[in-house]
Amino acid sequence: MEQQSEFVTKLMSWLNQARDIAEGWLLSPAAWSQFALLALAVFGARYATRRITPLAAKLLDPGEKDSFLATARRFAARFLPLMMPLLAYGFTAAGEEVTRSLFGSGDVIALGKRVFFFLAARLFVQQVLRDPFLKLLGKYVLVPVAALYAVGLLDDISLRLEETIIALGNIRFSVMALIRGVIAGGLLFWLGSWSNRQSADYIKKQEELRPATRELAVKATEVAIFGAAFLLLMSIMGIDLTAVALLGGALGVGIGLGLQQIAANFVSGIILLIEGQTTVGDYVELDGGEKGTIVKMTARACVLETFDGKWIVVPNEHFVTTRVVNYSDQGSANRYEALFSVGYDTDINRVPEVIERAVRALDFVLVAPDGPDCELRGFGESSVDFAVEYWVNGIDDGKNKYGSVVLFAIWNALKAEGIAMPYPHRVVELKGAMPKGNV
């Protein structure tokens, strides 16, 4: 109740002060001259805006161009709605200097100047800002602050917030410091996110770098940006960085004791990115049976995409501590084989030439590092067994069914040459006389 009555008393004193000021302005010739200068500043700002805005809009219009300069011109054109209040602010600032030099006071025109600043801030939030976070911050921070500045209450409220202390044990800080830290933290980490996105896009466009090197550069840039933002925020809030060092030591002990797996995966991810032996686009198979193409590498895990479209999240530690079969980098050659058989009545000396010619005719089969090679593998119970080895680019998976096409080519080639593919035969021999049945 005492705090509430104190606030009411303070509010009433502000209202009384505002009433006294208004009465003084109505009875003062200097105040009327300031009103006249204020009206003149508004007229001049509106006239200049009508003349300058079309020319500025034409100058800043880049047309259909898409370059850095065109982007900068489009960005500058977004500030054109602020021309009128900013020109009025400048004219009233000049008028304030004149009235203070002539009459020794300029409170009326100073109020007008602050009002124009408020209008500029409001237009800035409504028409210039487009990012949702910045728009929200402007709506609930910038505009209220500009309103308090316009009515002359900003200094009093700031002082009151500075004097209001919050104590948490041995830690003491003012409400103003807390508000300043929240606002600065939001801005810094938004700027960090934007910078991280821009730098990541730039690094990923550097095709002369290995994919692993690009991923490592992206992660290092992200850590550097957000680390700098955190340290800058601590400095803005007035927190001693030695306390941060102690906190970092405590966190290090916590990580060592309770977060061993997370720390191991993080370090393993850095090792993978530095070595570059496994990177995005590789088709790998782990000891646990997981196999697929690496589509994403994060600080904690790698994401494998299987042939049927499923994503498997594999911790980075598995790539370092277990055996990993890396079939190829993206686009490299791989060797496969297709098994088939012919009958014993076939002239098997003809088979290699027929099959190699048929497989070599397929457009996806490579001639380097080696062309198709048909080999005799063995003599079975009912067939002579062959295998043809061939090289292709990529992996025989759901998108590239090399094996099926090769088997079709083998079948058609054998049929065209009149070579039969065998099936199991059984010879049944009956000994002794056949029993005679009744007819």
pLDDT digits (tens, 9 = 90+) for 62-86: 777 777 777 788 888 888 888 888 8
In this structure, is residue 168 part of a structural domain?
no
Q: Mean pLDDT over all residues of the chain?
A: 78
Q: Is residue 436 part of a domain?
A: no
Give yes or no: residues 289 and 375 share one domain: no
Does residue 58 fall inside a structural domain?
yes
Judged on CB neighbours under 10 Å (0-12, 13-18, 19+), 54 is exposed
Beta-bridged to residue 341, according to DSSP, are 385
pTM of the model: 0.50
CA neighbor of 324 nearest in space, from 369, 356, 277: 277
Does one domain contain both 320 and 340?
no
State how many domains the chain has: 4
Same domain, 208 and 113: no
The per-residue pLDDT for range 335-389, each reduced to its tens digit, is 889 999 998 889 999 999 999 999 999 998 998 888 899 999 999 888 899 999 9
Write the DSSP string, 293-317.
Answer: EEEEE-SSEEEEE-TTS-EEEEEHH
Shared domain check, 133 and 193? no
Q: Which of 263, 293, 308 is the last residue of a domain?
A: 263
* Confidence at residue 51, expressed as pLDDT on a 0 to 100 scale: 87
Does one domain contain both 8 and 144?
A: yes
Q: Is residue 428 part of a domain?
A: no
CATH of the domain at 339: 3.30.70.100
Question: In this structure, is residue 431 part of a structural domain?
Answer: no
Whether residue 159 is found in the same domain as residue 92: yes
Domain that holds residue 357: 333-416
Whole-number Å distance between alpha carbons of 243 and 239 = 8
**Residue 145 domain flag:** yes
> What's the one-letter identity of residue 236?
I
Report if residue 224 sits inside a domain: yes
Q: Which of 41, 193, 187, 204 is nearest to 110 (CA)?
A: 41
CATH number of the domain enclosing 289: 2.30.30.60
- On whether both 7 and 150 belong to a single domain, the answer is yes
Whole-number Å distance between alpha carbons of 355 and 386: 10
Shared domain check, 251 and 156: no
**70 in the same domain as 188:** no
Residues 138, 215 within the same domain: no
Q: Which tens digits make up the pLDDT trace of 256-291?
A: 665 677 777 777 877 777 777 777 878 888 887 788
In a domain, 195, yes or no: yes
User: Do 186 and 152 sit in the same domain of this protein?
Assistant: no
| Residues 6 and 117 grouped into a single domain | yes
